Each structure stands twice: as C-alpha cells, then as structure tokens.
Amino acid sequence: MIIKNKTASFFALLIILFIGYIIYWGTTKPVSVVIQAGHEGRTTGNTGAASKLFHEEKWNIYVANAVAKQLRGWEIDVKRVPAHVRFTRAKIAVSIHFDGATNPCASGASIGYPSKDSHAFAQRWKKLYAGYFPFKWQEDNFTANLKEYYAYKWIRANKFLVLELGEITCEEQTTWLKPRLKKIAHLIAYAIATELGENIRKPNF
C-alpha cells in the first residue's frame, strides 16, 4: 500500500511538473513581434506625457492596436503588451510613445534602443518617418528613459526600438499627428514587416 501511494505521488508530481512546463513554455515562447503601448495601464509612477487636450497613453494604445492589427493582417504573429511586462522573447520589439516637453515644441520625434544590434533598424525607421514627419528630431537615446528603458530587461528581442512619434505637448505637432495616427501605425507595421524580411509594398501617403 505504501509503495502504491509512493508511485501515485510520483506520477502526480510528474503530471504537475509537466503542466508547469507547458505553462512556462506557453508564456515564454518566442514570438515574431512584441508591440507595447507605452504607459498603458499605469495609474502611478510614469503615467506618460499629457497636454491640456491629449494624453500620451491614449494615443499609444490607439497606435499600438493599429500596428498589431496591420501585422496580423499580414499573418505575422504579434504579442500586444501594456506597460507592465513579463519575460518575453521576440525577434522585434517596438514600444510606442509620444514625447512631452516643459517648453512646448522643444522636442519632436526620437528613438531609443538598448544596443548597437538595433542601430541599423533604428536608422531605417528614422529615414522612413523623417520622410513623412515634418518636425524636429532629437538624438537617438537622448534621455535615460530611452537609453535604459525598463522593458529592455524583460523583453529579450533581437531588435528593440522605443519610438517617440512626436511631441504631444506641442500644438503644431498634435494638429499634424492626430489625423495621421492610423497612417503612422501603417508605416511602423511596414517597417517591422520589412525588417522581418516580408515583401510588403511601401505605403505612399
């Protein structure tokens, strides 16, 4: 009887370990693309830039959803994540943000990335978006938030870009940005798909 119980316990343990392994594998399985909406779901801490009219988080969510939808439409697997991230592996990770400035219109678009592995992709994005976005650019990694973005540790991606798509505290920029958010999302999706080697036609706006 004792032996039988021991055998049963052993198999029960084996099954628990197996289920645990499947859950672990499911949550850490590499995906092609991770898209993050910056500040999404944060109620304290860094809740994002805001002006009287607009809040960065809302725009981030809108753009991130549109990018994810477009990529899925091209049959690319996407994991859409909020500000709170768990350990994830991906080929490409892109975090969507809009900048804020104490002096309105002192900022513009910029890019953050963790290492030189992402540098070439960052320059390709800059070239693409600079052909469309008519305002100023900041240097790459010009703030600590871009250079040492907290999610670099959690999302292990071959290439990781944090995109500041413009300045939400600059009226001139928001007037231009607001009606173009969907097009900008399309441009981001195109840049990601191309980086993955997909043959997608370049959107012309």
Which residues are at the interface with Zn ion (CB under 5 A)?
Answer: 38, 48, 97
In the complex, minimum distance from the CB of residue 38 to Zn ion, in angstroms, rounded to a whole number = 4
Residue number, 48 or 112, with CB nearest to Zn ion? 48
Residue number, 98 or 121, with CB nearest to Zn ion? 98
Residue number, 76 or 162, with CB nearest to Zn ion? 162
Residue number, 66 or 76, with CB nearest to Zn ion? 66
Residue 38, both tokens = 């910056």
In the complex, minimum distance from the CB of residue 45 to Zn ion, in angstroms, rounded to a whole number = 12
In the complex, minimum distance from the CB of residue 73 to Zn ion, in angstroms, rounded to a whole number = 26
**CB-closest chain residue to Zn ion:** 97
Q: Compute CA 121 distance to the chain's CA centroid, rounded to the nearest angstrom.
A: 14
For residue 60, which phi and psi values (nearest 5 degrees)?
-60, -45
In the complex, minimum distance from the CB of residue 164 to Zn ion, in angstroms, rounded to a whole number = 7
CA angle 142, 152, 77 (to 5 degrees): 115
For residue 88, which phi and psi values (nearest 5 degrees)?
-140, 150
**Nearby residues of 36 by Cβ (< 8 Å), 6 or more positions away:** 64, 80, 81, 82, 83, 85, 93, 94, 95, 96, 151, 155
